[in-house]
Amino acid sequence: MANSEPVLLLGDFPAITRSAVTTLQVNLGYVCNQTCFHCHVNAGPNRKESMGRETVGDVLAFLTRGGVRTMDLTGGAPELNPHFRDLVTRARALGIEVIDRCNLTVLGQPGQQDLAVFLASHRVAVIASLPCYLEENVNSQRGDGVFEGSLSGLRALNALGYGHPGSGLELNLVFNPQGPELPPPQAALEADYRAHLGSRYGIVFNRLLTIANMPINRFAKTLARKGEYNRYLTMLRQAHQDANLEQVMCRSLVSVDWQGFVYDCDFNQMLHIPLAAAGRPRSHIRDLDPASLAGGTIAVGDHCYGCTAGQGSSCGGALA
């Protein structure tokens, strides 16, 4: 890490073990149409990493082995992977619930104008990034014009029924703090989002998920350059709540990268900390049996305090 301060190493995160695996989180690659300063993936338009057809086949084979009920697609912008639609179609045919972690602006990209219709037709749940309901804050974090592009994406999803009660088309929004601080209480912030987006723009959604910025990759480098990395890590450690350990996402989730290698979570994936299984220090999804993972030890590090600080933070939002 390029830094302007000695990097603090705590090394005291509590040990945790895995329960039954019910979710497979698939990182389809690091290609994205946005470059966000808080991105733990370092995704962007110039990245080339993208899951190929053979690995997509390995993912589908893993889903047929039983136990996994949900496939959670992420990236980059997962929709920019050329095999995204085939993977969604085939997973849904297997009866797997599919989640698309969408940055919203991708819905307006060339060649993606029918993407919202595709998602709706396959009953894909959408978790959409919208780090604030104020235009200035969103654009400062994600780039000029992103807020308006995000509203366009939300309007397209709403028009198809997403976010409306009884439609069965789930639309959840994601909040990230602007900098090195914990998210505010999720319920109160959700009420603010709902009131502002509804009254001003006519936007509806199901839930707001608050997720802490993880001190890794692009965000960690930004903190270190500003001399704020150690302060942020210490703040996360001091806000740790043991009660959150029972609900952290890694206990029931496996993360797979664009090459097919598996990890305990997407954050470990970005730090190159592999999932150890069956005596192998590194495992590929083609060799993995979901049923064999229960009770296994989860690899942890200082960054894990980002998931257990305060009300907790996971891919499903606050834990408490």
Q: What is the pLDDT of residues 44-92, one digit of tens each?
A: 778 889 999 999 999 999 999 989 999 999 988 999 999 999 999 999 9
One-letter amino acid at 126 equals V
Here the tokens at position 157 are: 């999803």
Name the average pLDDT for the chain.
Answer: 88
Strands (E), the chain: 23-27, 70-74, 97-102, 125-129, 171-175, 207-210, 253-256, 262-263
Higher pLDDT, 146 or 38: 146
Measured CA distances, 150 to 40, 65, 135, 275 (Å): 20, 37, 10, 35
For the ranges 33-42, 150-159, 165-174, 239-248, which has the lowest average pLDDT?
33-42
Give tens-digit pLDDT for 76-85.
899 999 999 9
Rg of the chain over Cα atoms, rounded to whole angstroms, equals 19
- Looking from the CA of 309 toward its CB, the CA atoms found within 13 Å total 24
Mean pLDDT of 290-301: 90
Task: Give the separation between CA 123 and CA 151, rounded to whole angstroms.
Answer: 21
The token pair that represents 27 in the structure block: 């990182």
pLDDT in tens, 172-229: 999 888 788 898 888 899 999 999 999 999 999 999 998 888 888 878 888 888 899 9
- pLDDT above 70 covers a percentage of the chain that reads 89
Give the per-residue pLDDT at 171. Answer: 98
Q: What is the pLDDT of residue 256?
A: 97
Instruction: Give per-residue pLDDT as tens, 9-23.
Output: 778 999 999 999 999
- Main-chain phi, psi angles of 84, to 5 degrees: -55, -50
pLDDT score, position 316: 53
pLDDT tier for residue 278 given thresholds of 50, 70 and 90: low
Residue 43 token pair: 């995704």
pLDDT, mean of residues 162-171: 97
Q: Is the pTM of this model over 0.75?
A: yes
User: CA 109, CA 171: separation in Å to the nearest integer?
Assistant: 20
Can you tell me the distance from the alpha carbon of 105 to that of 129, in angstroms, rounded to the nearest whole number? 10
